[in-house]
Amino acid sequence: MAEVIRMPLLSDTMTEGVIAEWHKKVGDQVKADDVIAEVETDKATMEVIGYVEGTLLYIGVEKGKAAKVNGIIAIVGKPGEDYKPLLEGNSGDTAAAPAQQAAAPAPQAAPAAAAPAADDAALKEALKNASVIRMPLLSDTMTEGKIVAWNKKVGDVVKSDDVLAEVETDKATMEVIGYADGTLLYVGVKEGEAAKVNGIIAIVGKPGTNVDAILAGENAAPAKAAPAEAAAPAATSAAASAEAPAAATSSDGRVKASPLARKLAAEKGIDINQVAGSGDNGRIVKKDVDNFVPAAAPAAKTGAAAPSAPAFVPAGQEGYTDTPLSQMRKVIAKRLSESKFTAPHFYLKIDVNMDKAMDARKAINEVSPVKISFNDMVIKACALALRQHPDVNSSWMGDFIRHNQHVHIGSAVAIEDGLIVPVIRFADQKTLSQIAGEAKGLYDKAKNKKLQPQDFSGNTFTVSNLGMLGIDEFTAIINPPDSAILAVGGIKETAIVEKGQVKIANIMKLTLSCDHRSVDGAVGARFLATLKTYLENPVTMLV
């Protein structure tokens, strides 16, 4: 079935996007995670991922032209598939595709073709009077969004610039605007639940519009199968209550149960034959074992068999708590796993004497309009060192290495849900006080989940500082698309030998993680040496 790719909402103020570049052409194969185009918004140029697989059948917007948010920019499907029905009408909704496929077998079963045709007509009529609101792509790494709150309820009148809902992505909580006038007819995702990018979250239109036709067209087969699927577990449970072993037994007499369910049942001393299965065809799954409550009869039987039971009886029960993953935590896991197991990391460590830096910071803060932190000094020193060592300010692009001509420093911030990296742009051109003021504003926005995509994208190098938490030294995983990340430890009084004399100095340990595909050991070492010079002689950063 062909699927449409729409212009995503890439910032909270975006109403349209200009196609800056197409990375695919008609006829090319497309994977779910392929970047198909670059879109220039009112804030930045960002990548568009289709999240569908197949052949690119249609491109609706030429390079350099603009498309409204939620407008069709491309269609992906099977080679030779008829996609034109998807372009009919203003909505161009993908819901027409199931009807198109249902009508295809007409030559073999003519009598059955009437129902799909009727559904198709109802769908087209409904789409004339309603607009489908889909989960927008709110960051370049987002695959799904969780509805934090609905600002409208079914029956409310909605204007095109109204904020319908707040959505938690992997980076921040952002507002979703429907860009449609009418009445809120349908809400497809409850608060606290997630929806895939481009999935239907709401429908806005004229009162009385046939919403069921739109939903049936979106995914007809699962919708019709749902009642039967719901009935099957009920029937299975009923049968299991009367005769549990028969409900979960295959034709060859073997009990149908997952390996995990069998293991849990054995650990808990539960007779797997007494458990009613809720899985496919009565298959016993983990939740069935977790929720199992012995009936009175089995309890008596257990009492009769007591002499053969193990003598040891545990005083308590094993337990655990499953914490659902936030969108941010999911992407942290995905991206850092890809970085760690794709990029060949190597590590360089160096000690920096911060005595002069401590004195300089004290003097600077006496005249600075904002308080300068040691982290601000590290960011400034890194930016200047990257100017001298452009090979570190690079990105591995697969077939080539991209040397960035700008210096955008990402500064990792720990928040309740995980880690986010606000970006200080053109850090090499800014003063210490400008860096400090901008960093403080970004950190506050990060903790309040108010960062926008342009605030956490575009980094060319990253600094991760755990010194304020009492960590002496650590190694960090490279933050894609960077080629390196600097791990900063705390400043600690340490005995050192200088000119044959033992003295106490304030030492800070730095660890540089490098991607060996784009940064060689000698390159990383020279960068660290330059960085050390700046930090040990802060006056050199001011000239």
pLDDT, one tens digit per residue, over 370-384 is: 999 999 999 999 999
Task: Give the residue with greater pLDDT, 259 vs 445.
Answer: 445
In a domain, 155, yes or no: yes
In a domain, 417, yes or no: yes
3-state secondary structure of 423: strand
User: Given this model, what pLDDT does residue 381 score?
Assistant: 97
CA distance 518 to 195: 37
Is 519 found in the same domain as 465?
A: yes
CA distance 474 to 479: 15
Q: Cα 34–50–96 angle (5° rounding)? A: 145
Mean pLDDT of 149-178: 84
User: Given this model, what pLDDT does residue 69 score?
Assistant: 81
Burial state string for 504-532 with b = 16 or more CB within 10 A and e = fewer than 16: ebbbbbbbbbbbeebbeeebbebbbebbb
Is 139 found in the same domain as 28?
A: no
CA distance 149 to 518: 44
**For residue 189, what are the CA distances in angstroms to 129, 196, 279?**
21, 10, 24
User: Given this model, what pLDDT does residue 124 score?
Assistant: 81
Q: Which amino acid is at 461?
A: F
Is 124 found in the same domain as 65?
A: no
Residue 56 half-sphere exposure toward CB, CA atoms < 13 A = 23
Domain boundary among 189, 209, 229: 209
Is 146 found in the same domain as 69?
A: no
Span of 5-19, 185-199, 335-349, 505-519 with lowest mean pLDDT? 5-19
**408 is annotated as an active-site residue:** no
Span of 305-309, 313-317, 339-343, 533-537 with lowest mean pLDDT? 305-309
Is 171 found in the same domain as 57?
A: no
Span of 304-313, 334-343, 504-513 with lowest mean pLDDT? 304-313
Domain boundary among 150, 178, 209: 209
Mean pLDDT of 491-497: 94
Rounded percentage of the chain residues whose pLDDT exceeds 70? 81
Give the structural domain span for 44: 3-87
Is 513 found in the same domain as 394?
A: yes
Mean pLDDT of 281-285: 75
pLDDT band at 140 (very low <50, low <70, confident <90, very high): low
Domain boundary among 66, 87, 108: 87
CA distance 231 to 244: 17
User: Given this model, what pLDDT does residue 308 score?
Assistant: 57
Mean pLDDT of 415-440: 92
User: Count of domains in the chain?
Assistant: 3
Is 67 found in the same domain as 127?
A: no
Q: Which of 42, 82, 181, 516 is catalytic?
A: 516
Is the pLDDT score of 221 beyond 60? no
Nearest C-alpha neighbor of 346 from the set 512, 152, 120 = 512
In a domain, 217, yes or no: no
pLDDT band at 171 (very low <50, low <70, confident <90, very high): low
Is 500 found in the same domain as 386?
A: yes
Q: Virtual CA dihedral for 75, 77, 80, 85, nearest 10 degrees?
A: -50
Mean pLDDT of 165-181: 79
Is 365 found in the same domain as 485?
A: yes
Is the pLDDT score of 523 beyond 50? yes
In a domain, 185, yes or no: yes
Is 413 found in the same domain as 335?
A: yes
Q: Which amino acid is at 224?
A: K
Q: Which of 33, 212, 290, 520 is catalytic?
A: 520
**212 is annotated as an active-site residue:** no
CATH number for 530: 3.30.559.10
Residues 53, 31 contacting (CB under 8 angstroms)? yes
In a domain, 292, yes or no: no
CATH number for 60: 2.40.50.100
pTM across the whole model: 0.52
User: Given this model, what pLDDT does residue 113 score?
Assistant: 40
User: Given this model, what pLDDT does residue 42 score?
Assistant: 64
Is 133 found in the same domain as 61?
A: no
CA distance 242 to 274: 11
Encode pLDDT of 93-113 as tens digits: 433 333 333 333 333 333 444
What string of DSSP letters covers 201-224?
A: EEEEESTT--HHHHHHHHSHHHHH
User: Given this model, what pLDDT does residue 245 score?
Assistant: 41
In a domain, 30, yes or no: yes
Sheet holding 484-498, edge to edge: 345-353, 501-515, 484-498, 461-465, 409-411, 423-424
User: Given this model, what pLDDT does residue 87 score?
Assistant: 82
Is the pLDDT score of 263 beyond 80? no
Is 431 found in the same domain as 532?
A: yes
In a domain, 421, yes or no: yes
Q: Please provide the average confidence, as pLDDT, over all residues in the chain.
A: 81
In a domain, 232, yes or no: no
